[in-house]
Every structure is written in C-alpha cells, then in structure tokens.
C-alpha cells in the first residue's frame, strides 16, 4: 500500500487526524473534540499548509493538489486568491487547493526553488507534475486543473 492514511486537520480544534485511505470520502469525526471533519478529498476551501505539514498535506495526499506559494505583500497573489477560492468550491472532491505563505515557510519555498510569487505547483499522488508562475485567469487555471485530475 502506497498511501495507507491521510492526515486532515480538524477545523474546530486544529488537531491532526489520521484517516485511513480506505475511508476517503466518508464522514469522519475528530478524535480529539469529536466534531465533524471534512473527509480527505472533499475540500471546499483552500487549506493552509506549512513547512511542518507539507509532507502529510501534499506529498502524502492521494490525489491532485494545487499549491499556491504566496505572501501577504504580493499584489498579483491577491488577484489569484479569489480565483482559487472559487476553484476550491467548483472542484471540491477533485483537487485539493492548498496555500503556503513563503515568508513563514521558507524551507518548502527553497526546496521547490520558488523565486517569484505567485507560483502554483500541481501535484498528483505526491509527484510534482506541473507549475505556473504569475497571476493567471480562471480559465487558464482550470485548463491546468483539468489536466491533472
């Protein structure tokens, strides 16, 4: 088994839960606070990832992930943000959209040689399959998403 479990953060208490890959798509409950947690594979909003969580949240994720490398001071990033919010809803269950703040997470930015932002990396089953730099239209981003899902 390549991917036996995925890690999903509880939206209420922020604790990290291991979900067996065989239960992907089912309703799950947080092991700490027992609140409902969104099953892996069905994210309606972009999720924040960090240097510490990148391995579990992106590289170990069984499916397609779009990672937006951004920073609060970056003007073009603010153009992309609302588009990614819309795409997360439109493609919920098909692709996980993640955001990583490069100022707070320099290790991951360095690892992928991010030199300008926004940079969007597309992963499929933990493998980097495509990348885009600079603000893009929703139509263009959708073409890239459709090529990885």
Q: Which chain residues interact with Zn ion by CB under 5 A?
A: 10, 12-13, 30, 32-33, 35
Closest CB to Zn ion among 30 and 120? 30
How far is CA 61 from each of CA 3, 40, 120, rounded to the nearest angstrom?
8, 8, 17
Instruction: Name the catalytic one among 10, 13, 30, 77.
Output: 77
Q: How many residues does the chain have?
A: 149
**In the bound complex, what is the minimum distance in angstroms from residue 103's beta carbon to Zn ion?**
28
**In the bound complex, what is the minimum distance in angstroms from residue 49's beta carbon to Zn ion?**
18
What are φ and ψ of residue 63, in 5° steps? 155, -165
Q: Note if the bond before 110 is cis, omega within 30 degrees.
A: no
Q: Note if the bond before 95 is cis, omega within 30 degrees.
A: no
Closest CB to Zn ion among 35 and 82? 35
**In the bound complex, what is the minimum distance in angstroms from residue 31's beta carbon to Zn ion?**
8
Q: What angle is formed at CA 48 by the lines to CA 20 and CA 78, rounded to 5 degrees? A: 145
Closest CB to Zn ion among 44 and 143? 44
Q: Is 77 annotated in the active site? A: yes
- Catalytic amino acids? 74, 77
């Amino acid at each position: 088994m390549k991917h036996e479990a995925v890690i999903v953060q509880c939206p209420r208490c922020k604790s990290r839960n291991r979900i067996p890959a065989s239960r992907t798509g089912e309703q799950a409950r947080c092991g700490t606070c027992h609140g409902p947690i969104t099953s892996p594979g069905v994210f309606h909003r972009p999720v924040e990832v960090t240097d510490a969580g990148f391995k579990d949240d992106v590289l170990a994720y069984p499916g397609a992930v779009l990672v937006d490398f951004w920073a609060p001071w970056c003007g073009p990033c603010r153009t992309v943000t609302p588009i990614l919010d819309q795409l997360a809803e439109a493609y919920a269950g098909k692709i996980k959209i993640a955001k990583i703040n490069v100022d707070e997470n320099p290790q991951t930015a360095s690892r992928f040689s991010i030199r300008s932002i926004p940079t969007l990396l597309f992963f499929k089953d933990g493998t980097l399959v495509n990348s885009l730099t600079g603000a893009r239209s929703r139509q263009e981003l959708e073409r890239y998403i459709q090529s990885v899902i």
